[in-house]
Amino acid sequence: MSKLIIKGPARLEGKVKISGAKNAALAVIVAALLGEGETVLENVPQIGDVLIMTEILDTLGVKVHWPGSDTLRLTVPEGIGHLADYNMVKRLRASNLLLGALLARKGIAEISLPGGCQIGSRPMDLHIKGLTQLGCRISIEHGFIKASRSHMHGARIYLDFPSVGATENIMIAATMAEGQTVLENAAKEPEVVDLASFLNSMGARIRGAGTDVIKIDGVKHLYGTRYSIIPDRIEAGTFMVGAAITGGSIMVENVILTHLKPIIAKLKETGAYIEETDSGIFVAGPEFIRSVDVKTLPYPGFPTDMQSQMMALLSLARGTSLITENVFENRLQLGIELKRMGAKVKVEGRTAIVQGVEKLCGASVKALDLRSGAALVLAGLAAVGISEIQQLEVIDRGYRHMEAKLRSLGADVRRVN
């Protein structure tokens, strides 16, 4: 077990280069299974979750090679396995996408019910409903999802909720179904669009990704390709909050500005100075942080993956903020850890009432899930004294070189194993 020792308060200054998007990379890596031959992916972050996913692909017969630190080469054989290793799948939520990919490519899939961060109940009913409508037979036995199909056909599918995972799973499977699939109330997240662009570069015919209606015309074969993953909007948002919470100023490079609109708007409300430039986005912390209300929603609403970082920021605001979590019910548990640092947070159902305090004090705290871990790092940077963030492995799952990037911005942080 590792921990991060932070000596605060810090003032982050300088520039930081954002890595490829975790959630886009995970989906694209799974989708690469659809195309026999070689796929080369660029801008792939070598983070814990990506390494687990490549290990899973390795067990399915894919040759995995990193020719560069963020370039991944996957050589997909004609015959791939259909049984995903229990011990790895249970560690990673995104492994549920193997279902759609293996059904499309092999016609049969067996995966254990996926794990991932404990941020809510995270059911898979929408994935299963959609795949069943495409003609797949799916059953859950002893913690395993067993799925098969003899013939997969296009269908009109309406999602009760615009789930990112269900949209991606159904889109992957429908790519090789016979006829047209129309997916309504689909998720509009940039990672969904990136997956669609990747699949199209393999020969798929997908239109409408990024809107709530996605049309997929099935094709018989897909081929290996070369593709570059989009930058991680959540990593970018995390560093932007880093500038705001420490009263520093950071140039955040390698970003797509439109993906950051909801985060930019909220940070501006807190008083942060933000300038969109050709080389990235410049953020300077406000003189004092204004309290604001935050409601998480599917894209283009405020992302649930940035809610924890905002809670850390607002714990130092002047006034009281209300944070409403509409996507994952357990994500407000961060309040308990922040209180150890002196924050005043009260959670009632899906809402956290955050009463700003003048300062946070260093304390020993634990990263409960990926984003709350990142939020505790931000709080530790702003807090006075020494903070110890335990379970750093949780943060390593989704952030590439977090401590090295923070050190280059002037923070006094070190990892202890």
Cα 74 to Cα 98, 216, 322: the distances in Å are 15, 25, 45
Q: Tell me how many residues contact ligand UD1 (CB under 6 A).
A: 24
Is 117 noted as a catalytic residue in this protein? yes
Q: How far is the CB of 26 from ligand UD1 (least distance, A)?
A: 5
For the record, the structure tokens of 139 come out as: 């059953």
If one asks whether residue 309 binds ligand UD1 (CB under 6 A), the answer comes out as no
Terminal alpha carbon distance of the chain: 6
The site map against ligand UD1 for 371-400 (x = CB under 6 A) is ------------------------------
DSSP 103-121: HHHTSEEEEEPP----SS-
Q: How far is the CB of 397 from ligand UD1 (least distance, A)?
A: 10
Of the pair 126, 252, the CB lying nearest ligand UD1 is at 126
82 half-sphere exposure, CB direction, 13 A CA radius: 16
Beta bridge partner(s), residue 364:
388
Which 166-185 residues touch ligand UD1, going by CB under 6 A?
166
> Distance (Å, rounded) from C-alpha 405 to C-alpha 13?
11
**Is the four-CA dihedral 170, 172, 178, 183 of positive or negative sign?**
positive
Of the pair 116, 380, the CB lying nearest ligand UD1 is at 116
Q: How far is the CB of 370 from ligand UD1 (least distance, A)?
A: 8
The site map against ligand UD1 for 132-171 (x = CB under 6 A) is -----------------------------x-xxxx-----
Asked if 309 contacts 374 with a C-beta cutoff of 8 angstroms, the reply is yes
Of the pair 12, 209, the CB lying nearest ligand UD1 is at 209
> Distance (Å, rounded) from C-alpha 225 to C-alpha 38?
7
The site map against ligand UD1 for 82-111 (x = CB under 6 A) is -----------xx-----------------
Asked if 266 contacts 274 with a C-beta cutoff of 8 angstroms, the reply is no
Q: How far is the CB of 128 from ligand UD1 (least distance, A)?
A: 7
If one asks whether residue 115 binds ligand UD1 (CB under 6 A), the answer comes out as no
> Distance (Å, rounded) from C-alpha 30 to C-alpha 13?
37
Helix (H, G, I), strand (E, B) or coil at 1: coil
Q: Which of 14, 77, 123, 301 binds ligand UD1 (CB under 6 A)?
A: 123
If one asks whether residue 304 binds ligand UD1 (CB under 6 A), the answer comes out as yes
Within 10 angstroms of residue 191's Cβ, the number of other Cβ atoms is 26
- Which one from 30, 34, 117, 332 is the annotated catalytic residue? 117
247 half-sphere exposure, CB direction, 13 A CA radius: 12
Of the pair 89, 251, the CB lying nearest ligand UD1 is at 89
What one-character DSSP code corresponds to residue 327? S
Q: How far is the CB of 127 from ligand UD1 (least distance, A)?
A: 5
Name the nearest CA neighbour of 372 among 331, 413, 339.
331
Q: Are strands 320-324 and 294-295 parallel, antiparallel or unpaired?
A: parallel
Asked if 148 contacts 136 with a C-beta cutoff of 8 angstroms, the reply is yes
Q: How far is the CB of 332 from ligand UD1 (least distance, A)?
A: 13
Q: Which of 91, 127, 188, 400 binds ligand UD1 (CB under 6 A)?
A: 127
Q: How far is the CB of 123 from ligand UD1 (least distance, A)?
A: 4
Q: Which of 4, 170, 327, 332 binds ligand UD1 (CB under 6 A)?
A: 327
Per CB under 6 A, residues contacting ligand UD1 are: 23, 26, 93-94, 120-127, 161, 163-166, 187, 189, 191, 304-305, 327-328
Catalytic center residues: 117
